């Protein structure tokens, strides 16, 4: 059986845009009027805004042509009109549209965004604007032209207003900034471009977890996913992770969920793909809807992507791929650990997942002994086996370390505390995450050989001998692949308590 699993993750600066309480919109506000035309022959979303030229008569608009592995995104821009007339230049390499007119003059810019591919949505085109007669799903950077002059270094957060017009029938919206048809918020350049906008006839779920509004919207009907269960599980996952980080604020957690159409003629020859992208206070997810799709897999995807709100977005890697063992590996470990803690994943499922998804493929991998320093962007993105290496190695190291801390520290601490210490250290000192930050935090846990272990298992890439882990009630197979098993069925409660602590 052919099985494709793709996990997209884009590291994006992802803070919390705050609501503006004032009702008065001043001229410094970047104000867009948006209107979806989904019933048109070529469905589109039209956007309008006003901006002004500088003293040279120029306006520089950020708009992505290439990025996130996509090319030629300018092809989705139609009917660009400038009023009064101005010269327009499409700078493909610079991801910029340049206008030239009279100095210090206001200009009205209007355009339409269309879907530039004909075929049904597959995993290949989820990063392009999706606009059809049912819905639109477009990233901020592919929907909104953003005047650079509004986003200065002195004032990185800009007041943005979006009015959603609906002359051609009613529609719902869900995006990184809420679900209202009149939106006012503050956002940095990176926050506005790394956002998602979904509209159409939506099946939306919205529920407050303390002050945090949890939103899950899909424009599709699903055969192989229990949407009600997915909504409840997402709500629990958000609550659990916010409790974990001890963070309760009025941010929104928005999740969009789009169906992709992979080739699946029969059960022995079926493609299935689920993936997601972490964005500003939100993440966009995609999945095919065939017999291989399960709620369990989606729960894992949601838990993983949500954890990136803190690890990856708030705690930022200093050298990207060099710290993927942490940002991907530890994220993956906590996705599983917190699903176990919530009861969404049973002990048996937790152990089966670790065996199937991590231990077996890692110890069988020819890359398992490659040093961490050899993981780079080119290998990570172009070679599936290299792409999986930091996920698996990092998870196993997190599991090892968590066990050691629980066993060696007599004050009930665990790897959970290490994570919160790292969050505290990186945010209060305003530093990025690297090995030094990590080892400085670990120093406080009084573990024997923690520096050697890190050097050995992460930097040098030597596989961990799991059989030396002494967890009551669990044994590991000896030999090449140390699969994990329950030793005594009577001890399952005790094992669960230990693993989820």
> Minimum CB separation from Zn ion for residue 248, in Å?
24
Of 5-13, 164-172, 392-400, 422-430, which part binds Zn ion (CB under 5 A)?
5-13
Calpha distance 451→449 (Å, rounded): 5
| Residue (11 or 486) nearer to Zn ion, CB | 11
Task: Respond yes or no on whether the N-terminal peptide bond of residue 84 is cis (omega within 30° of 0).
Answer: yes
> Minimum CB separation from Zn ion for residue 430, in Å?
24
> Minimum CB separation from Zn ion for residue 310, in Å?
12
Residues 84 to 123: which contact Zn ion by CB under 5 A? none
Of 7-15, 45-53, 60-68, 92-100, which part binds Zn ion (CB under 5 A)?
7-15
| Residue (321 or 328) nearer to Zn ion, CB | 328
**Nearest residue to 367 via CA among 469, 256, 461:** 461
Torsion sign (Cα): 267, 268, 269, 270: positive
**Nearest residue to 474 via CA among 399, 373, 417:** 399
For the stretch 408-411, contacts whose Cβ atoms lie closer than 8 Å and that sit 24 or more positions apart, written own/partner, are 408/445, 408/446, 408/447, 408/448, 409/445, 409/446, 409/447
**Nearest residue to 207 via CA among 226, 179, 185, 187:** 179
- Under 8 Å CB-to-CB from 55, ≥6 apart: which residues? 103, 104
Q: Is 33 exposed, middle or buried (0-12, 13-18, 19+ CB in 10 A)?
A: middle
| Residue (9 or 454) nearer to Zn ion, CB | 9
Of 8-16, 118-126, 172-180, 286-294, which part binds Zn ion (CB under 5 A)?
8-16
| Residue (384 or 485) nearer to Zn ion, CB | 384
Of 3-11, 39-47, 151-159, 281-289, which part binds Zn ion (CB under 5 A)?
3-11
> Minimum CB separation from Zn ion for residue 329, in Å?
9
Residues 151 to 190: which contact Zn ion by CB under 5 A? none
Count of residues of this chain found to bind Zn ion when the rule CB under 5 A is applied: 2
Of 1-9, 227-235, 284-292, 470-478, which part binds Zn ion (CB under 5 A)?
1-9
Q: Which two tokens stand for residue 83?
A: 């009023």
| Residue (9 or 135) nearer to Zn ion, CB | 9
| Residue (114 or 395) nearer to Zn ion, CB | 395
Residue count (the chain): 501
> Minimum CB separation from Zn ion for residue 375, in Å?
14
Q: Judge contact between 115 and 43, C-beta under 8 A.
A: yes
| Residue (9 or 400) nearer to Zn ion, CB | 9
- Closest residue to Zn ion, based on beta-carbon distance: 9
Of 6-14, 204-212, 250-258, 461-469, which part binds Zn ion (CB under 5 A)?
6-14
> Minimum CB separation from Zn ion for residue 320, in Å?
13
| Residue (151 or 391) nearer to Zn ion, CB | 391
Calpha distance 463→396 (Å, rounded): 9
**E strands within 38-190?**
44-52, 58-62, 77-83, 87-91, 96-100, 106-114, 130-131, 135-139, 146-147, 158-164, 172-175, 182-187
Helix (H, G, I), strand (E, B) or coil at 437: helix
| Residue (186 or 304) nearer to Zn ion, CB | 304
Max Cα-Cα span within the chain: 80
**Interaction of residue 9 with Zn ion, rule CB under 5 A:** yes
| Residue (11 or 409) nearer to Zn ion, CB | 11
**Mask for 302-331, x = binds Zn ion (CB under 5 A):** --------------------------x---
> Minimum CB separation from Zn ion for residue 133, in Å?
33
> Minimum CB separation from Zn ion for residue 461, in Å?
20
**Nearest residue to 112 via CA among 184, 212, 185, 45:** 45
- For residue 123, what are the β-bridge partners? none
Residue environment code for 285-294, b if the CB has 16+ CB neighbours within 10 A, otherwise e: bbbbbbebbe
> Minimum CB separation from Zn ion for residue 313, in Å?
11
> Minimum CB separation from Zn ion for residue 231, in Å?
22
| Residue (273 or 496) nearer to Zn ion, CB | 273
> Minimum CB separation from Zn ion for residue 296, in Å?
18
- Under 8 Å CB-to-CB from 429, ≥6 apart: which residues? none
Residues 326 to 385: which contact Zn ion by CB under 5 A? 328
| Residue (328 or 416) nearer to Zn ion, CB | 328
Supply the DSSP symbol for 104.
Answer: T
> Minimum CB separation from Zn ion for residue 171, in Å?
31
**Nearest residue to 5 via CA among 253, 357, 345:** 357
> Minimum CB separation from Zn ion for residue 345, in Å?
18
- Under 8 Å CB-to-CB from 207, ≥6 apart: which residues? 213, 214, 231, 235
| Residue (307 or 450) nearer to Zn ion, CB | 307
- What is the enclosing helix (H) or strand (E) of 291? none
Q: Which two tokens stand for residue 422?
A: 């790292």
Interface residues toward Zn ion, by CB under 5 A: 9, 328
């Amino acid at each position: 059986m052919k099985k494709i699993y793709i996990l997209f993750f884009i590291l994006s600066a992802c803070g919390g845009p705050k609501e503006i309480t004032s009702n008065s919109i001043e001229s410094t506000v970047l104000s867009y009027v948006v209107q979806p035309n989904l019933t048109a022959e070529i469905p589109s979303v039209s956007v309008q805004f006003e901006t002004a030229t500088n003293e040279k008569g120029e306006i520089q608009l950020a708009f992505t042509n290439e990025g996130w592995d996509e090319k030629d995104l300018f092809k989705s821009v139609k009917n660009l009109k400038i009023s009064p007339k101005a010269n327009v230049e499409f700078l493909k390499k610079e991801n910029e549209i340049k206008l030239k007119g009279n100095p210090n003059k206001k200009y009205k810019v209007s355009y339409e965004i269309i879907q530039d591919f004909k075929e049904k949505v597959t995993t290949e085109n989820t990063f392009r604007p999706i606009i059809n007669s049912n819905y639109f799903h477009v990233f901020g950077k592919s929907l909104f032209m953003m005047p650079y002059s509004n986003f200065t270094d002195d004032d990185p957060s800009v007041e943005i207003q979006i009015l959603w017009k609906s002359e051609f029938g009613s529609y719902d919206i869900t995006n990184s900034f809420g679900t209202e048809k009149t939106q006012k918020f503050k956002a940095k350049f990176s926050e506005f471009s790394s956002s998602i906008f979904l509209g159409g006839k939506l099946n939306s779920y919205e529920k407050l977890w303390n002050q945090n509004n949890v939103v899950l919207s899909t424009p599709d009907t699903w055969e192989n996913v229990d949407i009600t269960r997915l909504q409840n599980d997402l709500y629990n996952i958000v609550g659990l992770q916010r409790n974990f980080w001890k963070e309760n604020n009025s941010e929104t957690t928005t999740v969009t969920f789009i169906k992709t159409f992979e080739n699946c003629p029969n059960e022995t020859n079926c493609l299935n793909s689920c993936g997601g992208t972490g964005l500003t206070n939100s993440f966009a997810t995609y999945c095919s809807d065939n017999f291989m799709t399960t709620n369990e897999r989606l729960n894992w995807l949601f838990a993983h992507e949500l954890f990136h709100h803190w690890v990856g977005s708030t705690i930022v890697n200093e050298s990207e791929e060099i710290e993927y063992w942490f940002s991907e590996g530890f994220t993956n470990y906590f996705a599983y650990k917190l699903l176990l803690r919530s009861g969404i994943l049973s002990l048996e499922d937790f152990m089966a997942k670790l065996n199937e998804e991590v231990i077996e493929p890692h110890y069988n991998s020819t890359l398992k002994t490659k040093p961490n320093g050899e993981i780079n962007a080119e290998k990570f993105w172009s070679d599936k086996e290299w792409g999986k290496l930091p996920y698996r190695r990092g998870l196993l190291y997190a599991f090892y370390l968590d066990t050691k801390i629980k066993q060696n520290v007599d004050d009930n601490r665990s790897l959970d505390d290490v994570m919160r210490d790292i969050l505290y250290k990186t945010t209060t000192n305003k530093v990025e995450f690297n090995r030094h930050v990590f080892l400085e935090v670990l120093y406080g846990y009084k573990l024997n050989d923690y520096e050697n272990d890190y050097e050995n298992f992460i930097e040098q890439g030597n596989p961990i001998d799991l059989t030396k882990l002494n967890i009551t009630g669990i044994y590991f197979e000896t030999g090449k692949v140390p699969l994990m098993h329950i030793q005594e069925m009577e001890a399952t409660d005790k094992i669960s308590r230990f693993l989820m602590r």
